[in-house]
A and B are shown apart, each in its own frame.
Chain A
Amino acid sequence: MSYLIAPLAIGAISGVMAALIAIVDLITNNYGEVNIAINGGKKNLAVKGGSPLLLTLSSEKLFLPSACGGRGSCGACKCKVLTDIGPHLPTETPYLTPEEQKDNVRLACQIKVKADIGIDIPEDLFNVKQFHATVLSIKDVTYDIKEVLYDLNGETVEFESGKYVQLVIPPYDKIKGSTQRAYSMSSRPSNKTQIEVLVRLVPGGIATTYVHEHLKVGEKMDLIGPFGEFKRTPGHSVMLCIAGGSGMAPFKSMLYDMLETGEKDREVWYFFGARSTRDMFYLEDMRDLETKLPNFHFVPALSEPEEGDGWDGPTGLITDVLDTYLKQHISAEGKTLEGYLCGSPGMIDACNRVMNENGITQDNIYYDKFA
């Protein structure tokens, strides 16, 4: 029996250590019941202390935006803390500007709820729900973009065009642990029982690979939303929308929403950039919208047109096309021009530059920047 001594003894030592950790955790992490006062007491939550704020809130069905799922690597779960909970942690400071730090904006995933605290969050977030959705259809709109339609299984979603949802990607293949990624909704707000998103395949991307290679019709998937500040302003200003690839999504939603809500006379210019004709999609839908919305102009452009693909529209980078149109076709006299952008951070920066050069100020340019 002597050969049993070693494994037993080492197992016992490890077991005792693990038990000690569990006991210490039980004693030190026991903060009892604490109260979270949200937006000056508009909502009060009595919760068990000791867990990160983000986790505590989501267990109470209150969802702050978070793309990394609480690992402190996206910086999306910012919220303003009104009570003193100690200085900023080194894990928070890289994501916060000096002004935010002065205002005591914190990363909800990094701070623990240890005592009664008060926080401020945007009112919209009370609307955010977790939907247990089912995939209704998956359509290829180009060779690398899929249009995915979800049924919300009886739940309803209230949102304005331009907002996004987070897809909860379950663990698959070598990806351990679930991941969340943000996608703009391309469905219309009037359709409250379904959500549609456009997903473009990014090589190596966790969510895009999952949607393109694993997701099947009929499968269940969780969506959290709606989130985002991106929406069209009320009034009669001229909308300059610029998108590329799956950046089509929020504008598809907005244009159909305008058609449905009777906002038909507003002047809208929609610049859509693609590399070649095989990246171009929804052309007929947009042309159809042009006939129904009298002041809507769709300007698709190819940056790398190929010989013989029959393209007779504008060519060049979408920013150059935008520049030309701003200088030659769009008159700003007596009107306010507003920029609406959806695309890669590089495209957004370039569009900002072109718009600024043409006299559109930064506070009239709207976008949600996804990292």
Chain B
Amino acid sequence: MAPQIHPLVILFASVFTSNILLTNFLGMCSFIAISKDMKSSNGLGLAVTVVLTITVAINWAVMRYILVPLDLMVYRYIVFIVVIAATVQMLEMIIDRVSPALYMSLGIFLPLITVNCAILGAALFMQIRNYNFIQTLTFGFGSGLGWWLAILALAAIQKKVTRAPVPAGLQGPGITLITIGFMALAFVGFSGMLNVQ
């Protein structure tokens, strides 16, 4: 078993020092595509946080009570993806019914998230790191918050960058990737402070 890291430590680590986006570079496609606009970034960040928290918890239960006892861990990729896709689908239907306003701000991003690799990545990390349920929950929630924070930060920086004289060859994705690199440096710089594994 892994050493019992306090869930709060995991929460802070996954938001800041081990940010799933900036240290593992997971969930980049939607990150780069949506980060041009602050409002959409906010909606997408919220959606990722909600979906990550829920799916990582369900996947933990599926793993603990089905995959491990039946010795089916080699199939975890397929099973995790099926669980994520189904959960997102149900979430979309429920939000559509319960709150049209929330559906407008969050629901339309849900289909985008099904294929977001950060979601699958988090499920695999919680397995590799042998987290218990509470740890898994805080890890999922923290990773979502970290992703949300990163996309908001990038959207804000991009706003400034649009007014800066960017060399022709670097405009668009080029300068965005360099910006993300700098952000990653800033986050990773503190990685010694908190231990997650």
Is B24 engaged at the interface, CB distance under 8 Å to the other chain?
no
- List of A residues within 8 angstroms of B75 by Cβ: 6, 9-10
Interface contact A25-B93, CB-CB below 8 Å? yes
**A25 nearest CB neighbor, chain B only:** B93
Interface contact B97-A28, CB-CB below 8 Å? yes
Interface contact B72-A6, CB-CB below 8 Å? yes
- List of B residues within 8 angstroms of A25 by Cβ: 93
Q: How far is the CA of A111 from the CA of B90 in the complex (A)?
A: 19
Is B29 engaged at the interface, CB distance under 8 Å to the other chain?
no
Interface contact B90-A10, CB-CB below 8 Å? no
Partner-contacting stretch, out of A16-24, A139-147, A360-368: A16-24
A6-B75, A14-B82 as given contacts; A28 in contact with B96, CB under 8 Å: yes
Is B124 engaged at the interface, CB distance under 8 Å to the other chain?
no
- List of B residues within 8 angstroms of A9 by Cβ: 66, 70, 72, 75
- List of B residues within 8 angstroms of A86 by Cβ: 100-101, 104
Is B79 engaged at the interface, CB distance under 8 Å to the other chain?
yes
- List of A residues within 8 angstroms of B104 by Cβ: 86-87, 89
Mark each residue of chain B from 70 to 85: 1 if its CB lies under 8 Å from any CB of chain A, else 0. Answer: 1010010011001100
In whole Å, how far is A112's beta carbon from the nearest beta carbon of chain B? Answer: 8
Interface contact A17-B83, CB-CB below 8 Å? yes
A13-B62, A13-B79, A13-B82 as given contacts; A20 in contact with B90, CB under 8 Å: yes
**B97 nearest CB neighbor, chain A only:** A28
Interface contact B82-A21, CB-CB below 8 Å? no
A28-B97, A87-B104 as given contacts; A21 in contact with B86, CB under 8 Å: yes
Is A5 engaged at the interface, CB distance under 8 Å to the other chain?
yes
Partner of B89, one of A21, A29, A87: A21
Mark each residue of chain B from 84 to 127: 1 if its CB lies under 8 Å from any CB of chain A, else 0. Answer: 00100110011011101100100010000000000000000000
Partner of B66, one of A13, A17, A24: A13
In whole Å, how far is B55's beta carbon from the nearest beta carbon of chain A? Answer: 12
Q: Which of A78-125 contact B (CB under 8 A)?
A: 86-87, 89-91, 112
Number of interface residues of A (CB under 8 A): 20
A10-B75, A13-B82 as given contacts; A29 in contact with B93, CB under 8 Å: yes
- Give the A-B pair count, Cβ closer than 8 A: 50
Q: How far is the CA of A87 from the CA of B103 in the complex (A)?
A: 11
- List of A residues within 8 angstroms of B79 by Cβ: 10, 13
A5-B72, A10-B75, A90-B108 as given contacts; A29 in contact with B86, CB under 8 Å: no
Partner of A24, one of B70, B78, B94, B100: B94
Partner of A10, one of B78, B93, B97: B78
Interface contact B94-A28, CB-CB below 8 Å? yes
A9-B70, A10-B72 as given contacts; A17 in contact with B97, CB under 8 Å: no
In whole Å, how far is A319's beta carbon from the nearest beta carbon of chain B? Answer: 39
- List of B residues within 8 angstroms of A28 by Cβ: 93-94, 96-98
Q: How far is the CA of A10 from the CA of B72 in the complex (A)?
A: 9
In whole Å, how far is A93's beta carbon from the nearest beta carbon of chain B? Answer: 12
- List of A residues within 8 angstroms of B78 by Cβ: 10
Interface contact A24-B93, CB-CB below 8 Å? yes
- List of A residues within 8 angstroms of B89 by Cβ: 21
Q: How far is the CA of A62 from the CA of B36 in the complex (A)?
A: 42
Partner of B97, one of A6, A20, A29, A89: A29
**A86 nearest CB neighbor, chain B only:** B100
Q: How far is the CA of A201 from the CA of B78 in the complex (A)?
A: 45
Q: How far is the CA of A91 from the CA of B111 in the complex (A)?
A: 13
- List of B residues within 8 angstroms of A91 by Cβ: 108
**A29 nearest CB neighbor, chain B only:** B93
Mark each residue of chain A from 254 to 273: 1 if its CB lies under 8 Å from any CB of chain B, else 0. Answer: 00000000000000000000
In whole Å, how far is A28's beta carbon from the nearest beta carbon of chain B? Answer: 4
Interface contact A20-B70, CB-CB below 8 Å? no
- List of A residues within 8 angstroms of B82 by Cβ: 10, 13-14, 17
Mark each residue of chain A from 1 to 37: 1 if its CB lies under 8 Å from any CB of chain B, else 0. Answer: 0000110011001100110110011001100000000
**A87 nearest CB neighbor, chain B only:** B104
- List of B residues within 8 angstroms of A21 by Cβ: 86, 89-90, 93
- List of A residues within 8 angstroms of B86 by Cβ: 17-18, 20-21
A contact residues vs B (CB 8 Å cutoff): 5-6, 9-10, 13-14, 17-18, 20-21, 24-25, 28-29, 86-87, 89-91, 112
- 8 new A-B pairs (CB below 8 Å) besides A10-B78, A17-B86, A89-B104? A5-B72, A10-B75, A13-B66, A14-B82, A21-B89, A21-B93, A87-B104, A89-B108
For the complex of A and B, the 6 pairs showing the least CB-CB separation, nearest first, are: A17-B86, A28-B97, A86-B100, A24-B90, A28-B93, A14-B82
B contact residues vs A (CB 8 Å cutoff): 62, 66, 70, 72, 75, 78-79, 82-83, 86, 89-90, 93-94, 96-98, 100-101, 104, 108
A sample of 25 inter-chain contacts (CB < 8 A) reads: A5-B72, A9-B66, A9-B70, A10-B72, A10-B75, A10-B79, A13-B62, A13-B66, A13-B83, A14-B82, A17-B82, A17-B86, A21-B89, A21-B90, A24-B93, A25-B93, A28-B96, A28-B97, A86-B100, A86-B101, A86-B104, A89-B104, A90-B108, A91-B108, A112-B96
